[in-house]
Amino acid sequence: MGIESGAAPMHWRLSVLLVAALVPLAVFWGNWQEGGLLAFPRFGEVFQPGQLAELRALNPPVFSTDGYDGQFYAQMALHPTLADPAMTEALDNPSYRARRIGLPLLAATLGMGNPAVVLAAYSLLNFAFWMVLAWLLIFRYLHYSVRGLATVLALLWSSGVVVSMDRALTDLPAAVLGLVAVHASGHARTAPWFMGFSALVKDTSILSIAAFWPRFRSSCWPQRIGLAIILLAPVAAWAAYVFWRIPSGSPAGMGNFALPSLAWWDKMQTAAALLASANDGVPTVRLIRYLIEFAAPLCLAVQASYLLLRWRPNEPLWGFGIGFAALALLIGPAVWAEFIAYTRVLLPLTIAFNLLLLRYQAGRSFWAWFIAGNWGMVGGLWLTFPL
């Protein structure tokens, strides 16, 4: 079953775009009020002594002790070659962070050497990629139906998307680049380059190269070798450069992986216990957080189950998400700790799940899967519009 034929009217598409844009506008305005564009990377007090001189000169706002991951990638944008010796002090784990050079490199290119412009570009790039995702969904998938509307809004407002924008992270840009590659995978020569760059933005994007299996299978061997080189060579070459430039240091990603489903099950038990212990004295905000932390892992389990049960190796969208369905089984307690981490790490799974539903399911089957896979993926909206 394909997507319903018949284009949605232009006024319908534009209306959906305007409604969907309320969320990124709210994210932008909330951060702007807290400290302008430099509020997005979430610079932390603990890491202030090691900040690059160019960043300290701009006096970025600090709102928490530790800050968040975007603060390290933003500083990489100031010296994307990693040649400055001060970079090893600016990053919490240089050899780990440095592998994700794509977004900092893009910001550095746009900023043309001006530190203030570079950091502003870095903070805004997630919003630019949100617009690309919105355009792709609204003009490729949106038809004149409740199913289409629900799918588009579920993706544009999903937790992983909103958190990535709110904290200037690499997850949304990497996922969008991968999705663009998927839609061009059957014919365009540029498609593998988009996927290759996606892996430079976030190395886990390499899990989505299964989207090119149909193209690989239908090609001759010289074309297959060329395709593999384009998909894998950029991230492999950069990893080699990082290994040469930066000492390996302490192991990265401790706690990021576990035996299949073990960490997920521990997460569900912990979240259920917190909900069960809640009483009338628990603040509403905390109760909402408990509910989100219980619901979101359930939804992601549904999403992974759908891809694992509906095997479609010749469908690029399925290939885009199936690696992340497997990853959902293997991620460890450090990732499952809070929804702002695991929902964005598994964002390609969420995208693939919803678009495959729209393409292949209809009627009650669609709504059963859709509700089960999305009802708990609203934590980003809670962050955007707090009580």
Domain map (residue ranges) of the chain? 10-384
**What confidence category does residue 3 fall into, taking pLDDT thresholds of 50, 70 and 90?**
very low
**Mean pLDDT of the region 24-29:** 96
The per-residue pLDDT for range 59-99, each reduced to its tens digit, is: 999 989 999 999 999 999 999 999 999 999 999 999 999 99
Distance CA 199, CA 88 (A): 22
Checking phi first, is residue 168 left (phi over 0); if not, alpha (psi -120 to 50) or beta?
Answer: left
Under 8 Å CB-to-CB from 301, ≥6 apart: which residues?
264, 328
The per-residue pLDDT for range 138-169, each reduced to its tens digit, is: 988 888 789 999 999 999 999 999 999 999 99
The per-residue pLDDT for range 278-306, each reduced to its tens digit, is: 877 778 888 889 999 999 999 999 999 99
Q: What is the pTM of this model?
A: 0.95
Distance CA 154, CA 152 (A): 6
Q: What is the predicted pLDDT for the residue at 286?
A: 86
Strand partners, 44: 64
